[in-house]
């Protein structure tokens, strides 16, 4: 797993949902409400990547595959990329820069509030993701800041739960996996 091609290939794999979405859009396969479909698709993949990033460390500990650690940042940044596209879809295509209405929705509608809170927590993590920033902040501070992911992922899952009006099995599954991953970290931390 150390070939030069592994990392580019992993990036390519992370981009597959984007190619998929672009293809569906180009072939007019997104149905009567392509904006809603695209935004939900991007949000779903943002949450999937967040959970994958959160899973790296526990899975590495269970399996001893230390190679995985080198992909944690990649998964986290891809998650952020999907989050940003999800947000752009909402602000540009859905709301068309109607800041007044967006402000109203953030305050009045709790699923938007939760989503925006999760997004806000993720911004400093993405900004401080470079090696230079880790060095500048010091490992300890950097790690402390990045604990914010433990709040951001459950918030994102709750954002999804509060969004749906029926059929909460899929969003609940995401939340359950997230909580299991957090629990495994808590158990590990206590054992140390």
Give the integer Cα–Cα distance in Å for 139 and 133. Answer: 10
Contact residues for 106 (Cβ-Cβ < 8 A; gap 6+): 112, 113, 116
**Is 154 buried (19+), middle (13-18) or exposed (0-12) by CB count in 10 A?**
buried
Q: How far is the CB of 110 from other proteins (least distance, A)?
A: 8
Contact between 173 and other proteins per CB under 8 A: no
Contact between 111 and other proteins per CB under 8 A: yes
Q: How far is the CB of 161 from other proteins (least distance, A)?
A: 11
With contacts defined by CB under 8 A, name the span among 29-37, 67-75, 129-137, 182-190 that binds other proteins.
Answer: 29-37
With contacts defined by CB under 8 A, name the span among 9-17, 60-68, 118-126, 164-172 that binds other proteins.
Answer: 164-172
Contact between 104 and other proteins per CB under 8 A: yes
Smaller CB separation from other proteins, 8 or 31: 31
Which of 105, 123, 150, 184 lies at the binding interface for other proteins (CB under 8 A)?
105
Q: What are φ and ψ of residue 83, in 5° steps? A: -60, -45
Contact residues for 141 (Cβ-Cβ < 8 A; gap 6+): none
Contact residues for 162 (Cβ-Cβ < 8 A; gap 6+): 110, 111, 114
Contact between 25 and other proteins per CB under 8 A: no
Distance of CA 26 to the CA centre of its chain: 25
- Report the interface residues with other proteins, using CB under 8 A: 31-33, 35-36, 93-96, 98, 101, 104-105, 108-111, 162-163, 165-167
């Amino acid at each position: 797993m150390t070939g030069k091609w592994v990392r580019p290939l992993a990036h390519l794999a992370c981009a597959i949902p984007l190619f998929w979405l672009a293809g569906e859009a180009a072939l007019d396969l997104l149905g009567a409400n392509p904006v809603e479909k695209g935004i939900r698709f991007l949000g779903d993949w943002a949450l999937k990547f967040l959970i994958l990033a959160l899973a790296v460390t526990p899975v590495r500990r269970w399996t001893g595959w230390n190679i995985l650690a080198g992909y944690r940042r990649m998964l986290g940044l891809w998650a952020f990329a999907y989050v940003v596209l999800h947000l752009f879809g909402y602000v540009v295509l859905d709301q068309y820069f109607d800041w007044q209405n967006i402000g109203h929705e953030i305050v009045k509608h709790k699923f938007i509030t939760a989503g925006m809170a999760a997004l806000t927590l993720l911004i400093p993590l993405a900004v401080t993701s470079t090696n230079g920033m880790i060095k500048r902040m010091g490992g300890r501070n950097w790690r402390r800041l990045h604990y914010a992911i433990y709040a951001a992922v459950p918030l994102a899952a709750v954002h999804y739960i509060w969004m749906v009006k029926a059929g909460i099995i899929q969003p609940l599954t995401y939340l359950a996996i997230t909580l299991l991953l957090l629990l495994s970290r808590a158990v590990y931390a206590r054992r140390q």
